Chain A
């Protein structure tokens, strides 16, 4: 099963654990839920609570 992707409602950035690049600041394969609580959108700076599954 493909890993769950999340989209930033603010700016449209998509966090995909399988293809996330260095811009995400996370190790490849990190599930969205496992990102640190203070992780922010690399495009617009919004917090994790502004993301929703897509």
Chain B
């Protein structure tokens, strides 16, 4: 086995033994421009506990890092906080290789792991909500975080060193050799944390609010937050900062930002988009334009998470909307962004269904329609450009009035 990978010490008894995925750019449809990490942790006391594993393809890297601290055969316990395969992918192989005394998981985690790997349910030890266990002198408390972001999700708290193993919560897709957020560029980590929340957690705001309230009521002293992706947090300001951001994102208060998403075949809907942008800006809005021929849906939702307006445009093609717009609207509808005002527009030739279809989708998404769908036959003339500008201005005015 390759032995080039070493563990990184987090606290006196906690080691990071995960894997760095420098290559990944498509994480179930989410553009991971900076790669990712799959974080696993080893807690070494009188007994040895492994917390989560890594994606199946990275098993050797994890074992190499474990072996730099202890013989993997010495692992007594495994805690599986989350059943998704980026963290459980090599759990069955790890169980087979180290034969642990117990594998702890939530009740839903037990069910999900059995459904994934068709393993014997009795090889897993389900834990109760709030249960505390002593693992060789290391005291852990397990807290269910149902639907944050899967039914099985839980977090584990190590009392002795005040470490919260938070699974996917508070993480980000960011490959780096640095293991702590304070060693990285703040602009990059702020953006990637927001992108992670936006793409994974946006539809689950009500669950996140409840879970944050529950965890706060436990009054745990947290010195380190150790998520399953990206850097760890060890400074009070970073930990407080991310909790504050999650609290805000769960509510999605509207802002003065408008996201404009559009695509065009012959440039007419694009001309409308440019005029609409001018109108929105005249109305005091900050505009973010996404030409969907070369933009990624996961960047659109990242901007929408902190927006107050959403405008979408498409040319009409074969009595419908353009495929690039269908893609992003399908994705956004599922993510259920809230507290937005907006409208739909587009150029057409003879039937002009696209703006109507998009307006209906906006309504289904709960977007408050601030201006009736704007349609232009073929190429917009000066008057229609003015109308487009006005359309933008009206949306901005309605949006700004709500702030």
Contact = CB atoms under 8 A, between A and B. Distances in A.
Q: Report whether chain A binds chain B.
A: yes
17 contacts: A9-B107, A9-B108, A9-B151, A10-B108, A10-B146, A10-B147, A10-B151, A11-B146, A11-B147, A11-B151, A11-B207, A12-B146, A12-B147, A43-B147, A43-B206, A44-B147, A44-B151
Interface residues of B, number: 7
Main secondary structure, interface of A, reads: loop
Interface of B: 107-108, 146-147, 151, 206-207
Nearest to B147: A11
Contacts of B147: 10-12, 43-44
Interface string A4-34: 0000011110000000000000000000000
Nearest to B150: A10
B101 to A, nearest CB: 27
Contacts of A10: 108, 146-147, 151
A41 to B, nearest CB: 11
Contacts of A9: 107-108, 151
Contacts of A43: 147, 206
Nearest to B129: A12
Nearest to B108: A9
Interface of A: 9-12, 43-44
A-B pairs with the 10 shortest C-beta distances? A10-B151, A11-B147, A12-B146, A11-B146, A44-B147, A9-B108, A11-B151, A11-B207, A10-B108, A9-B151
A12 B207 CA distance: 10
A12 B145 CA distance: 10
A50 to B, nearest CB: 9
Given A9-B151, A12-B147, A44-B151, 14 more contacts: A9-B107, A9-B108, A10-B108, A10-B146, A10-B147, A10-B151, A11-B146, A11-B147, A11-B151, A11-B207, A12-B146, A43-B147, A43-B206, A44-B147
Nearest to B151: A10
A13 to B, nearest CB: 10
Contacts of A12: 146-147
Contacts of B107: 9
Contacts of A11: 146-147, 151, 207
User: B107, B146, B206: which has the most chain A beta carbons within 10 Å?
Assistant: B146
A12 B214 CA distance: 14
Contacts of B151: 9-11, 44
A10 B153 CA distance: 10
B159 to A, nearest CB: 25
A9 B147 CA distance: 11
Contacts of A44: 147, 151
A10 B152 CA distance: 8
A48 to B, nearest CB: 16
A12 B147 CA distance: 9
Contacts of B206: 43
A19 B151 CA distance: 24
B125 to A, nearest CB: 18
A9 B107 CA distance: 9
